[in-house]
């Protein structure tokens, strides 16, 4: 059986917590300070086929952005491996493949305010031999147009644009590297709703025209449903459910997935009233001390004793549909 285009195999990421001022003083005096690593990503295995869009969904702090950065080669896994087209993303602690590009939530923070837009877009292609000085302006113009921007914008600075336009510039910069994979980390979260729709439609258009594989990270369930072929739900660093998008949204098997979908308010067209919705009970446990057994068991409405003592494995429960729940059928 051939390997998937993106293969994420048992990937872990641990972070050591920063010591408080008091702990640093105690440590300098020679006393031992106990610290526990944060389990940001805890044994994730996923496969993505070429040209597909995988939506990564979960509450803030669940590890989805950390996983996205490991896929992009920005962070090195503590354990496990990410492979793109059969090759490791990281080699010797460095990103080994320029065909993976990232689009971040805040386009203003990711664009150098002292550089003109044309220079921002051309910098990477010039450094990697994808463009030359003689053809730089035409190269930049082509990718500005592909991102839905006027080529004349190349002579301006990032602060002269709106948030949506800046995100399009960030997209043009990523596309100019001729990527096979785009990791989109909350790319529309900071934009107005009307602009969000435009950017999402741009991603759909680019995927259709350029056969790009997308990793789309978001906490917005409606956006993920619109853009994704497959969805993976994360909770406290683990994948609790994954499968085809419509299957996840219409027939969820994990109680956490059901809770996420039920917690979204819906509008009744007849009287413009919000229907009743049920928020997930309880608070997310600390990743420094996750619960024993299923991490979701303290908040789960159907948890049994087995859930408190034994980790559920992610198992196949339908065609391409997996859930990590002892009670899923």
Pick the CATH number of 6-99+179-241 from 3.40.50.300, 3.60.15.10, 3.30.70.100, 3.30.930.10: 3.40.50.300
In tens, the pLDDT along 30-65 reads: 666 566 788 899 999 999 999 999 999 999 889 999
Confidence of residue 272 (pLDDT cuts 50, 70, 90): low
The token pair that represents 160 in the structure block: 């002269």
CA–CA gap between residue 89 and residue 180 (Å, rounded):
13
Give ∠ CA 164-224-182 in degrees, rounded to 5.
Answer: 65
Ramachandran sector of residue 326 (left: φ over 0; alpha: ψ -120 to 50; beta: rest)? alpha
Tens of pLDDT, residues 200-246:
999 999 999 998 999 999 999 999 999 999 999 999 999 999 999 99
pLDDT confidence of 1, banded at 50, 70, 90? very low
DSSP H/E element including 8: strand 6-15
Q: In the chain, what percentage of residues exceed pLDDT 70?
A: 88
Radius of gyration of the chain, Cα coordinates, nearest whole angstrom: 22
Instruction: Supply the mean pLDDT for the chain.
Output: 89
Look at 27 and 124; give whichever has higher pLDDT. 124
- Taking the mean position of all CA atoms in its chain, how far away is CA 72? 10
User: Cα–Cα distance between 130 and 120 in angstroms, integer?
Assistant: 14
- What is the pLDDT at residue 140? 97
> How many Å apart are CA 270 and CA 268, to the nearest integer?
6
Question: What pLDDT score does 297 carry?
Answer: 94
Asked whether the predicted pLDDT for residue 274 surpasses 80, the reply is no
User: Could you give the percent of the chain with pLDDT greater than 90?
Assistant: 71
Q: Where is average pLDDT lowest: 38-47, 101-110, 248-257, 268-277? A: 268-277
Supply the pLDDT for residue 184: 96
Specify which residues 54 forms β-bridges with.
Answer: 215, 230
315-318 and 79-84 strand pairing: unpaired
Task: Break the chain into its structural domains and give their ranges.
Answer: 6-99+179-241
Q: 82 by DSSP, 3-state: which?
A: strand
Q: What is the mean pLDDT of residues 100-117?
A: 91
């Amino acid at each position: 059986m051939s390997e998937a285009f993106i293969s994420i195999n048992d990937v872990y990421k641990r972070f050591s917590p920063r010591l408080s001022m008091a702990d640093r003083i105690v440590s300098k005096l020679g006393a031992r300070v106990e610290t526990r690593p944060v389990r940001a990503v805890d044994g994730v295995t996923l496969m993505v086929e070429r040209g597909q869009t995988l939506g990564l969904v979960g509450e803030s702090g669940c590890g989805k952005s950390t996983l996205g950065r490991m896929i992009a080669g920005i962070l090195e896994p503590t354990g496990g491996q990410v492979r793109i087209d059969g090759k490791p993303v990281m080699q010797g602690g460095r990103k080994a493949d320029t065909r993976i590009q990232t689009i971040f939530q805040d386009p203003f923070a990711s664009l150098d305010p002292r550089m003109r837009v044309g220079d921002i877009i051309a910098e990477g292609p010039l450094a990697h031999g994808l463009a030359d000085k003689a053809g730089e302006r035409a190269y930049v113009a082509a990718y500005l147009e592909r991102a839905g921007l006027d080529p004349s914008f190349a002579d301006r600075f990032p602060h002269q644009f709106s948030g949506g336009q800046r995100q399009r510039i960030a997209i043009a910069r990523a596309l100019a590297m001729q990527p096979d994979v785009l990791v989109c980390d909350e790319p529309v979260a900071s934009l107005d709703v009307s602009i969000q729709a435009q950017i999402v439609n741009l991603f759909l258009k680019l995927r259709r025209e350029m056969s790009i594989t997308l990793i789309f990270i978001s906490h917005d369930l409606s956006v993920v449903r619109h853009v994704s072929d497959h969805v993976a739900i994360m909770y406290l660093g683990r994948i609790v459910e994954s499968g085809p998008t419509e299957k996840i949204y219409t027939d969820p098997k994990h109680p956490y997935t059901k809770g996420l979908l039920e917690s979204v308010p819906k509008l009744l067209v007849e009287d413009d009233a919000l229907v009743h919705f049920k928020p997930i009970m309880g608070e997310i446990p600390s990743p420094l001390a996750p619960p024993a057994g299923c991490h979701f068991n303290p908040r789960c409405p159907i948890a049994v004793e087995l859930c408190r003592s034994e980790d559920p494995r992610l198992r196949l429960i339908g065609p391409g549909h997996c859930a990590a729940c002892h009670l899923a059928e």
